[in-house]
Amino acid sequence: MNPLRHVAIIMDGNGRWGLKHKKSRNAGHRAGLNTVEKIIKESIRLKIKYLTLYAFSTENWKRPKKEINFLFNLLESFLVDKIEVLHKQNIKLKIIGYKKFSKKLNKILNLSEKKTSKNKTLQINLALNYGSKSELINAFKSVQKNKIGINEKNLGKYLLTKNIPDPDLLIRTGNTKRLSNFLLWQIAYSEIFFEKKLWPEFNQKDYNRIIKKFKNIKRNFGKI
């Protein structure tokens, strides 16, 4: 049985869920947040150590301003309401991405990271304004600037995922098979599962079904 330390998730399908239920795309994002809470809870129960959630990509800025504002307000009120609860559950929150948000949100994100920085049960990496290509370009530039050898170890020092083991498992919901500029370096040997359900429909049972399959895969890492 494969050990499972790190799960990464592309939470896709919120907008379609909202429209499917004759509501707004933003209603889908709100419903998606309930799934986030369920999956955090289940990850703790399953003793998973790292959970990386793709919440906003560098490309998501192309969406209508109204939707972008809704998403960041949702995140803001989630953290204001729940950071104490997350902290009590011994959860560490880490933002991976470039913090170029409103002053208020940047402050909330920094405080949330600081408050939970010593926690040990589960590390949640929230990918916000994250894009793998710019992460890699910046990492290569830093390697060059510091005049150190171009190798995996040195590059890893400048990735946003520094000190985080690579994901064992990547799940994308929403019935779409693409990677959308997410952790392109880090998923070199991850097992990838594409799930038909939209993110707000995804639940603990689905999560466990995928994990069960993952555990039984023969992971070769290039060997035979």
Contacting residues toward ligand FPP, per CB under 6 A: 11-16, 29, 32-33, 36, 55-56, 60, 71, 74-75, 78, 126, 174, 199
Q: Cα-flanking dihedrals φ and ψ of residue 122, to 5°?
A: -145, 135
| Distance in Å, CB of 189 to ligand FPP, minimum | 25
Q: State the Cα angle at 161 between 215 and 55, rounded to 5°.
A: 80
**12 is known as an active-site residue:** yes
Residue closer to ligand FPP, measured from CB, 27 or 126: 126
State which amino acid sits at residue 35.
T
The Cβ of residue 43 has, within 10 Å, a number of other Cβ atoms equal to 23
CB of 198 to ligand FPP, least distance (A): 7
Distance of alpha carbon 38 from its chain centroid, rounded?
Answer: 14
Q: How far is the CB of 143 from ligand FPP (least distance, A)?
A: 31
Q: Please state, in angstroms and rounded to a whole number, the distance separating the CA atoms of residues 4 and 114.
A: 26
**Whole-number Å distance between alpha carbons of 189 and 212:** 18
In angstroms, what is the minimal distance from the CB of 70 to ligand FPP? 10
Query: Closest CB to ligand FPP belongs to which residue?
Result: 15
Q: Which of 2, 14, 34, 60 is catalytic?
A: 60
Nearer to ligand FPP, 139 or 173 (CB): 173
In the bound state with ligand FPP, the residue whose beta carbon lies nearer, of 158 and 167, is: 167
**Closer residue to ligand FPP, CB minimum distance, 16 or 38:** 16
Rounded Cα distance between 29 and 151, Å, is 39
Q: In what side-by-side order are the strands of the sheet with 191-194? A: 91-96, 122-130, 50-57, 6-10, 169-172, 191-194
Active-site amino acid positions: 12, 60
